Structures are given as C-alpha cells and as structure tokens.
Amino acid sequence: MRPSTDALVLLLAGGIGSRLNILVGHRAKPAVPFGGLYRIIDFSLSNVMNSGLTRVGVLTQYKPLSLMRHIGTGEAWDFTGRTRGVKILPPRTGEKDSDWYKGTADAIRQNIDFIQANPSEQVLILSGDHIYQMDFAAMLEYHRHKKADITIGMMVVPRSEIHQFGAGIVDTENRIIDWEEKPEVPRTNLASMGIYVFDTEYLLRTLGRDKREVDFGMHIVPRAIEKDRVFAYPFYGYWRDVGTIQSYWETNMDLIPEDSRISPEEWGIRPNPEAEGRPMDRAPARYIGGCTVRSSMISAGSIIEGTVINSVLSPGVHVRKGAVVRDSVIFEDCVIGEGSVVDLVICDKRVQIGARAIVGHGEDRDQPNQDYPKHLYTGITLIGKEAVVPDRVRIGRNCIVRPNCRPEDFTGREVLETGKSILEE
C-alpha cells in the first residue's frame, strides 16, 4: 500500500461539451485553448501536480486525439518516473453502444481494474473542464479528519445559477444531510464543483452494488447521504465551469484586469509547449510603431500593427495595420486583415479575416443565433478553425462561421446578418 497522502487521481475528460459549439467540433472540451497559452485541462493537471499527487488516469471518450496529443507522456506536469504516471483511459468499447461511458459513476466503474492496479487509501475524482486553483492535499486531509466516506468540493454560487449544479444542504459540521440535483426551486446556494474524494474501499463497494447507478450526482451521492458519512469541503477561491460560450468568453475576460482573480503563472499552471506548435519557442511579441494595445493579453509570436483592446491573443496572431480587435478571444496563428474590425468574437486557430471586413457588425446583440439560440445570445460571434473570411464581408452578432469555410462560401453574402450561420460545406 502506498502512503496515504498519495491518492489516486481519476480525471473525467470525456464529455461532449456541445454547448461550446464549433470549438469542440474537432477536439474534446478539456482540450479547448484558454487564456492564450493553455488548454482547459492544464488547470486540473497542474493542480494535481502542485498538490503532490503523482498517479493520474484521464478518462477520455469524445474526440480524444487532440487531448491525448496534448497530455503526451505527462512530462509537462512531472508525471513521469518510476512511481509517477498519467494513463489515458478510453471506454472499453466493444460491439455495443452501451459500452460507452453512460455517466460519471459508470466511467469510474469501467476502470475499476485501474484503481485496483494502483492501490491507495483514497481516490480523488475531478473534471477536466474547470478553471480554478485548488490544493487537493488539504482536501484529502479534511476528508481523513472527518472520517468521511465521500467528501465533495462545494462553493456558494448565486441562486440564479444553482439549477446548473448538484446542490447540498449541510449541518453545522458540514455534513451533507440532503441533496438536490440541478434543482429548479433551490433550497440552498451551495453547489457541487464536481470534485470528489472517496475512500477507495468504499468506492469499490459502492460501484459494485448496482450497475444501474451511472451518475454520482443523480444516483451515488443521494443514496450515500441517507446512511453514510458525506461531507462538503468548502471552497472560497475562483472557480468557473467554462462549458458554455458565454462562460468561456467571460472567464477569458476575467484574465485581463490588473486585479484579476485568475493568475495562471502565480497558480503554477503549466501548459505543454511540446504538444503542438511549440508556442514557447516563438519570438517575443512585436509591437509596430503606431499600434495601440489596451487592457489585453498578447502572447509570444504575435505581431501588432493595429489596435487591440480588452482581448486575449494566443501565440502567432497578426493584427495588421488599421485593424481593430475588441473584446475578443483569438486563437493561435490567426491573421486579422488590414483595416478590418473584429468585435466580440472568438476565432479558432488559423482563421484569416480579410481586409476591411467587419466581424461583429451592428448594435443588436440580443437577437440569438437561429440555429443555436441557447449557445449564442449575447452578441458573441464564432469563427471556426482555419476559416477564411473574404475582404469587405460584414458578419453580424451571434453568428457562426463553420471551420474551413472558404471565400466561395460567402458568394452572394456580402453581409451575414445577425443570428445567421454558415454551417454546411
């Protein structure tokens, strides 16, 4: 048996993340770029590393290749060595669709052999799609002090948002005495962060009890509260689920202020510069005479000839003369053409915006996207990976331009009106 401080980590990274729309059309949600240099999963992996934990299983499912390439051997997070390691755990797919992960608990159940092959007193279960800093060693110590069977990371959220989460009612000792999964009429504002500590033997017994219990929040936790020791671990720091376009954009914007509550460098968050593109090897950003940059994050390899305001630019972005980028998130190696305007836009990798084009045109930000009204409804426009937007085209608010879109797809469309999309090839 390993020392009790060295819990086994299982990181759930298999969700479709469909609310991120075309950003997850070719990659898993945890592999979506964030904050210029990072992927979303870098935050969970770095928190594990900084907590002194060394054995990680990453449970993948949906479009896992980019995520697998990004994690690689785990060397970027010190998960290599005789007693260290990160292992990718795909579903045990056979001949039936039922072999795919049906929920969080089912995903763990399908990997019981990995738990048994890596003995530990506790199992720490995380999601790979949150932006936060957390000391898991402190949470594990809390779990042991409470002699808990399950400990759940929880934090206060606005009551208007609690319907998105599992919600716990606690007593004066932080023991959870009742549970509501995504309540429409909440009795509490204490939300689950999707972070669990289980005593290993308890977890194995629980997973073996009833294979119909496929989800922790829906099945495992409510039953455990009735007769077992389930505690809330209160968390007071910054934590965001970036599972929607709106929350993803807002969290990127949260990086910009001088008093930002997100500080990846201070938090010790590590990217993997060896994965692809080698952004760390790029030359420093270049600021050409006459350019303007205000309240923005500009990554290495970028060339700024125009104006960038309140935006996050990944490595290698070229903002040409006279161009304006405002309130936007621009992924690697995009080119913003001369005299163009990009306003409240998320551009995936290697997008080319033509000269004097306007992306984010018009004042009506309240008309939602006609195809995905629950994804885009505040004015944000999405431009897919490697799309080419022609010169002088105007694209409205809450629009979607599919990946690999070409100038000929805009034939007869000098204006893409607010709420419209180019989705078909």
Domain for residue 339, yes or no?
yes
**Residue 93 confidence (pLDDT):** 56
Both 235 and 292 in a single domain? no
Please indicate, yes or no, if residue 270 is contained in any of the structural domains.
Answer: no
Is 272 domain-assigned? no
Judged against a pLDDT cut of 70, whether residue 379 lies above it is answered with: yes
Q: What is the CATH number of the domain that holds 107?
A: 3.90.550.10
* Per-chain mean pLDDT for the chain: 92
pLDDT digits (tens, 9 = 90+) for 42-61: 999 999 999 999 999 999 98
Q: What confidence tens digit (pLDDT) does each residue in 401-419 have?
A: 999 999 999 988 899 999 9
Residue 76 lies in a domain: yes
Residues 96 and 176 placed together within one structural domain of the fold? yes
Whether the CB-CB separation of 56 and 79 falls below 8 Å is answered with yes
Q: Are residues 284 and 250 in the same domain?
A: no
302 with 373, same domain: the answer is yes
CA 105 from centre of chain: 20
Domain, as residue range, for 27: 8-254
- pLDDT tens for each residue of 315-350: 999 999 999 999 999 999 999 999 999 999 999 999
Residues 208 and 169 in one domain: yes
The phi, psi pair for 358, rounded to 5°, reads -125, 120
Residues facing 345 on adjacent strands: 381
User: Domain check: are 24 and 104 in the same one?
Assistant: yes
Alpha carbons 341 and 232: distance in angstroms, whole number? 47
CATH of the domain at 384: 2.160.10.10
Query: Which residues, including other chains, have CB under 8 Å from residue 330's CB and lie 6 or more apart?
Result: 311, 312, 313, 314, 317, 336, 342, 345, 346, 347, 351
Residue 286 and residue 196 in one domain: no
- 381: amino acid identity, one letter: T
Q: Is 50 part of any domain?
A: yes
Residue 176 shares a structural domain with residue 306 = no
Asked if residue 170 is part of any domain, the answer here is yes
For residue 100, the SS3 value is coil
Which of 219, 237, 254 delimits the end of a domain?
A: 254
pLDDT at residue 17 above 90?
A: no
pLDDT (mean) for 89-108: 72
90 and 192 part of one domain: yes
Please tell me the pTM assigned to this model: 0.94
Residue 204's H or E segment, with its range, is helix 200-209
Indicate if 159 and 294 belong to the same structural domain.
no
**Are residues 67 and 31 part of one domain?**
yes
Q: Could you tell me if residue 267 is inside a domain? A: no
The count of structural domains within the chain is 2
Does residue 104 sit in the same domain as residue 195? yes
The answer to the question of residue 268 being in a domain is no
Report yes or no: 120 and 6 within 8 Å, Cβ to Cβ. yes
